[in-house]
Amino acid sequence: MVQYNQARLDASFAALSDVTRRGVLEHLGRTDSSITDLADRFHMTLTGMRKHVAVLERAGLVTSVKIGRVRTCTLGRRQLGEEAAWLNRHREMWGARFNELDRVIEDLKRKDERDGRRKRK
């Protein structure tokens, strides 16, 4: 069985659970930005954006550097490989379960068709 770092998964999925934080990641994928620019872009207060950036930093998805009065954010070095592997494992498991459910439903439909023909005779 594959071992996952639960704290890392929790931090990553918590960071990704918010639409604003996902938007910040998408934006930082295109260009580095200051917290002020991010706050303006997402129509938020500086305090609110700092909190979002802090969550992303704890997850290792964003890094920020303060030079003078400006804190500039960039994508972190950490990739989401472990998270993707976790999602793929569960996608495969659920896919297999749904395939089995489809088989059961098809079997029930065929049985109903056979039983329906017998009752009409």
Among the three residues 75, 95, 112, which one is the final residue of a domain in this structure? 75
Residue 69 lies in a domain: yes
Q: Which long-range contacts (CB under 8 A, 24 or more apart) does 7-15 make?
A: 8/59, 8/60, 8/82, 9/82, 9/83, 9/86, 11/58, 11/59, 11/60, 12/59, 12/60, 12/61, 12/80, 12/82, 12/83, 13/83, 14/55, 14/59, 15/55, 15/56, 15/58, 15/59, 15/61
94, 66: one domain: no
The model's pTM is 0.73
Residues 26 and 52 in one domain: yes
Residue 1 lies in a domain: no
In order along its 121 residues, the chain shows pLDDT tens digits of 556 788 888 899 999 999 999 999 999 999 999 999 999 999 999 999 999 999 999 999 999 999 999 999 999 887 788 888 888 888 888 988 999 999 999 989 888 888 776 665 5
The parent domain of residue 42 ranges over: 6-75
